[in-house]
């Protein structure tokens, strides 16, 4: 396919954004953005995102946002202890609400998507690809369909060419995302989902636990 339309991917190197990016990799000329905002897992996220981009044959840019770490006291960007969860706690909204508050980075997806919008307009890209999903939307409102629709309304008004956000896994659980990844041969093995940022994932943070459950559900582990 010649002269593909362009798209910007907000690629953390995690499971969801990896599958979302792979889903559109044949349809768009994708320019991926990974943000380093002082999170514990920055090094591993950047490494994974880079590997995913190399596998998919797409451009990769890393943007530093050092000021974002200074806002709030998220366990992802400070010495605050990262909550650990048990598998049977993943479906408890009360427990996960508490975890979400501890790892919440103020305005993160608002900031990331706004910056991606600037890149999209500058590069004449039609779409912004994100990995927002149904499972995380239960406790992270900036992953929800309502957030997606609201941001797209803003972009319709606030961009000259009507840039649009595409979130192909917005209505999917982690298990469904893994199934989609298998169908499209997404490089999920290169993705990284741990909050802690060690080379070997901790296996106990919420992000690890959701990933483990999903891969177990499809009998990949």
CA-based nearest residue to 134, from 94, 97, 168 = 168
Query: How far lies 183's CA from each of 63, 87, 177, in Å?
Result: 31, 26, 10
74 annotated among ligand-binding-site residues: no
CA distance 221 to 216: 5
116 annotated among ligand-binding-site residues: no
205 annotated among ligand-binding-site residues: yes
88 annotated among ligand-binding-site residues: no
96 annotated among ligand-binding-site residues: no
Strands 127-129 and 59-64: unpaired
CA distance 13 to 11: 6
169 annotated among ligand-binding-site residues: no
53 annotated among ligand-binding-site residues: no
14 annotated among ligand-binding-site residues: yes
> What does the CA dihedral 60, 136, 169, 63 come to, rounded to 10 degrees?
-10
Please compute, for residue 100, the number of CA atoms within 13 A of its CA located in the half-sphere on the CB side.
17
175 annotated among ligand-binding-site residues: no
Count of Cβ atoms closer than 10 Å to residue 217 Cβ: 15
Annotated binding residues: 11-21, 194, 202, 205, 208
Annotated binding residues for ATP: 11-21
Annotated binding residues for Zn(2+): 194, 202, 205, 208
């Amino acid at each position: 396919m010649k002269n593909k339309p362009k798209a910007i991917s907000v690629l953390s190197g995690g499971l969801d954004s990896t599958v979302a990016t792979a889903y559109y990799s044949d349809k768009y000329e994708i320019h991926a953005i990974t943000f380093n905002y002082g999170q514990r897992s920055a090094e591993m996220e950047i490494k994974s995102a880079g590997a995913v981009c190399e596998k998919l044959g797409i451009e990769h840019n890393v943007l530093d946002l050092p000021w974002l770490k200074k806002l709030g006291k998220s366990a992802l960007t400070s010495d605050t202890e990262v909550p650990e969860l048990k598998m049977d706690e993943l479906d408890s909204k009360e427990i996960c609400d508490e975890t979400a508050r501890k790892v919440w980075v103020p305005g993160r997806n608002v900031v990331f998507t706004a910056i991606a919008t600037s890149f999209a307009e500058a590069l004449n890209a039609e779409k912004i690809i994100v990995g927002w999903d149904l499972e995380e939307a239960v406790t992270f409102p900036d992953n929800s369909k309502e957030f997606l629709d609201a941001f797209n309304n803003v972009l319709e008004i606030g961009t000259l060419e009507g840039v649009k956000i595409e979130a192909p896994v917005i209505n999917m659980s982690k298990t469904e995302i893994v199934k989609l990844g298998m169908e499209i041969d997404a490089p999920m093995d290169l993705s990284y989902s741990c909050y802690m940022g060690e080379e070997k994932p901790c296996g106990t943070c919420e992000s690890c636990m959701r990933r483990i459950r999903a891969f177990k559900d499809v009998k990949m582990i």
